[in-house]
Structure 1
């Protein structure tokens, strides 16, 4: 170990099982410390108020020694008082906007930022948002989850309004202006940031999952206007209040992954379908419109038929759950090339599709690995579910057209489901249930939340939204 190069020591540190192991490696000698410190600070995941208080307490030391420059991923998505012994009010009180903004500024080489709903109260201050959008040239991934405070919408709108970031909205009132004047630290921090918003040039993967308070007119449209020069590849706007109008302000040509589940303001006879027809690089499209098993869609049968007939050369994942007008006519219009390429397909919460039409379509999908039939009538009726499962049974000696199909998601909470049907075994995970076969773990097979990286997230809360909910 004494004669290993810095590069090899860094590789060893990267493959350590935990931050505790990396920390122990860094204590061996100065050479090991130099190699391990990059890995130790590469990902900073803060889950408890104790962790946050300790990290902020050492921030000045970390900054002085240059260690914050090694931070590439800042994960605040699972921050919570639960299990910490702290009250929720106390846990929120220590996340003070000024100190959080300073931390974001100090992490100058940040490439990924994840923020959960428990941090929302700090992001209602424009200074924190400006700290993200003024000085992170390497930022590629931005993930906000569960932000539903109207004050957050106002702060985001203020920053991207183009009015100048040092100007306060009149509605903030004279008292807030006076308080800012008295806060010398805040004024000093304001002076460190450019007056105009600077969009990170590499930012191309964005999630506003369940950020229901964000305004389309005052935030989304100006935000994507400033983002126009970036080649946006992954976008998650699930459960937001966007409408079809937004797609007049988005460039579809570079998009590879798009999640619009629960966006009930989108209608079919609008700008959306022309936008989709230009998204030739799309690999994943989630248009699930169901909520707790109840469908609710503004898409007519003809437009759904037109949607599935579009040739999307790279499409591998398609979620069309919750569409009340999904019927056999729509399935019969499936583009042959799309059907051959699809690997993940959902018809959850659709009631008008027949078993015969479904099996006929499945016969045209030789690469299908995952099928979601949750809350469909033939998944709720055990007789028809058994029919589907038995139809997809394959003999290993003579693989059939369903050979690649490994996971079928079914309605959760049905006590009548048998534990096994031929080669299919029943598995429950959170609010979801599956039949699976082979050596496949169905629990992490399909994510409801768009994954901004091609890997199972380490964040417990992100994993919950993705795979358990």
Structure 2
């Protein structure tokens, strides 16, 4: 069954109770040949919507390299299986003899074929030619049986005195948590290319022992990834027939979902009725211990008022909800309809993403945010959240990840007051306040003077993209560069100003020389300069001898984001490679990436606990679950400007 990176293991005692009930049930996760199939399906290249793209991080030695496909890799059909035995020589001849029946000796319709001389030249039933072709589909080969027509007696097997009794092996005695972590390493997130089936090892483990069967079920059903509606129907069928399996599920992930993979028109999808509001609600009813629900714009019409009520009021253990990109009229009306419901004073949700839910009204956030007392991750980029809704977040919340980019109804005074004085913002690790300066201005010079000194020392990623900056802000940012790893700068700075973040000021007297000795190196690994146009970014100064940004001693700086219109210009420039850098791009974004020499050691993978599974730098969307980045979430995180 499809799944993603594992979350914490569920209760082991509960899983052992499931084993006895599933002993005679079909093996879960195997393909169901009776499922609905669509004939003459349109090829993916012709049926997919132009806005869909599956973006995955590429595991290579170079940072900021991505694999982009128009159709999610989860939707690839498996190739047909082939025989694992080598074919026998084709020139082999087999002598056969027809024996007529005793009751009708003249009949050619009844009778049997068998080798004329079994011991001479017979190579097995597979090689008997029927009408010029080898038509036998038997998996057995009598050649391997030596033409023995009776089953030989099995010799008694001597018992190994060192072999432990059933259920007492060393691996079976491990705690369920450790055993689950071991099995999770066998789970394949992406289907392999070729004839191999996914998770074959896990299917074998199901038949090994009761202990491994229980632990393997937990790995198979703990995190479920739904790439298209047929997989959803198979999953729903399994948990409907074996409702104990639904209690294992902790995550439902639709980030790779693409409805046009199997069906080219909306009418075909509606006729099949695999994923509908009714079936989605049924799925949520059968997964009572769900902790993370990850949706996106391709299932927005399946999220109706009943589904929302179940998510917010019916799942007591739900901690993370992601509605990334959901902005349809049906989705908006569904949210409006539940605002009149009797909401509880407290909701257990700690991670909430409404990234680019641009159609939701301000009343949605004014109703929802005051009830999130355990909030830690909040992504409201591009929404209509207001100052009142932001200030209504309970003081018991402990927000570490906050994304308020492109929120036009927020004011600079409200944001500064929230960051400086609200108890929930005292431990911020990720903060994005970026805007598109061409259409909106949030932070001017005075606002930055008040905001930057209030930022906490726990911060690791800061985006001031679109703000109006001045050279005096460099002195305010310098202390932050001693713990920041990502920094996105605003406009109106020169390269010579930015260079002061990486080296101390030039000394003119003895006092300044002592300051150079006390200089603390920066910790920046990612610098975002994409706010500058190709005309504003002075390349001559950037690559000049008097600038340290591109030099080796600016390390650990590894990635510099540049305007996307500069990619073609720098990709062919020999100066970039001479200085030890290379240009990469993905969608509407481009980066300068430092090349690693052998003496520099292995490249930093970029994995950080605060990234929650993402490897590369400059993410635009806050992750809600600890998982590899891919599908539509990869597009919003690494492919779009803001």
Q: TM-score, normalised by structure 1?
A: 0.81
Query: 1:400-426 CA deviation, whole Å, 9 max, x = no partner?
Result: 4x2211111111242110252412222
Which structure has more helix as a fraction of its residues? Answer: 1
1:77 correspondence with 2:223: no
Structure 1 distance, partners of 2:347, 2:204, is 35
Which residue number corresponds to residue 167 of structure 1? none
In structure 2, do the counterparts of structure 1 residues 465 and 311 end up closer, same or farther at CA, with 3 Å as the change threshold?
A: closer
1:179 aligned partner: none
Q: Alpha carbons of 1:371 and 1:250: their partners in 2 closer, same or farther (altered >3 Å)?
A: same
Give ranges in structure 2 of 5+ residues lacking alignment: 1-163, 189-197, 505-520, 597-602, 607-614
Q: Please give the alpha-carbon distance, in whole angstroms, between the structure 1 residues aligned to 2:233 and 2:275.
A: 9
Structure 2: distance between partners of 1:389 and 1:140:
51
The worse-fitting range, judged by mean Cα deviation, of 49-58 and 139-148 is: 49-58
2:246: which partner in 1? 68
1:173 is aligned to: none
Q: 1:199: Cα distance to partner?
A: 5.2
**1:406 pairs with 2:558:** yes
Distance 1:455 1:126, change over 3 A: closer
Give 3-state SS (helix, strand or coil) of 1:313's partner. Answer: coil
Residue 5 of structure 1: SS of its match in structure 2? Answer: helix
| Per-residue CA distance 1:90-130 (angstroms, 9 max, x = gap) | 3365322122112112211111110111111121x211111
Answer yes or no: is 1:5 the counterpart of 2:191.
no
Q: Distance in 1 between matches of 2:255 and 2:416?
A: 33
Structure 1 residue aligned with 2:227: 47
1: CA distance between counterparts of 2:455 and 2:208? Answer: 58
The alpha-carbon distance between structure 1 residues 464 and 311, as it changes in their structure 2 partners (threshold 3 A), is closer
Aligned to 2:299: 119
SS in 2 for 1:258: strand
Q: Counterpart in 1 of 2:388? A: 245
1:233 aligns with 2:376: yes
Q: 1:467/1:31 Cα in 2 relative to 1: closer, same or farther (>3 Å)?
A: same
Is structure 2 residue 506 aligned with structure 1 residue 354?
Answer: no
Whole-angstrom CA distance in 2 between matches of 1:315 and 1:11: 31
What do the CA deviations read for 1:43-98 (whole angstroms, capped 9, x no partner)? 111011221222233331131xx011000111022221233344344336532212
Q: Secondary structure at the match of 2:385?
A: coil
SS in structure 2 of the partner of residue 32 of structure 1: helix
Q: How many residues align?
A: 417
Alignment-derived partner of residue 186 in structure 1: none
1:207 to 353, 356, 368: 353
Q: Deviations over 1:406-463 (max 9, x none)?
A: 1111112421102524122222223221112233578822211112345543x42112
Over the residues paired in the alignment, what is the CA RMSD in angstroms? Answer: 2.7
Structure having greater relative contact order (Cα 8 Å, sep ≥ 6):
2
Distance 2:240 2:255 in 1: 23
Counterparts of residues 160-309 of structure 1 (less than 5 Å): 160-162=339-341, 164=342, 200-201=347-348, 203-217=349-363, 219-227=364-372, 230-251=373-394, 254-269=398-413, 271-278=414-421, 279-290=425-436, 294=438, 296-309=440-453
Are residues 216 and 421 of structure 1, via their aligned partners in 2, closer, same or farther at CA, if it must alter by over 3 Å?
Answer: farther
Equivalent-residue separation in structure 2 for 1:197 and 1:156 (angstroms): 16
Contact map agreement 1:130 1:197 (CA 8 A) in 2: no
Output the TM-score relative to the length of structure 2: 0.60
Judging changes above 3 Å, is the alpha-carbon distance between structure 1 residues 257 and 10 closer, same or farther for their aligned structure 2 residues? closer
Partners of 2:360 and 2:564 in 1: CA distance = 31
Other structure's SS at 1:70 match: coil
Structure 1 position 468 matched with structure 2 position 632: no
Distance 1:242 1:67 in 2: 39
Q: Does 1:146 align with 2:288?
A: no
Which of 129, 135, 150 is the matching residue for 2:314?
A: 135
Unpaired segments ≥5 residues, structure 1: 165-195
Task: Give the whole-Å Cα distance in 2 for the aligned partners of 1:245 and 1:297.
Answer: 20
**Alignment equivalent of 1:373, drawn from 515, 529, 540:** 529
2:206 is equivalent to residue 26 of structure 1: yes
CA distance in 2, matches of 1:57, 1:388: 66
2:590 match: 433
Conserved in 2, the CA contact under 8 Å of 1:77 and 1:145? no
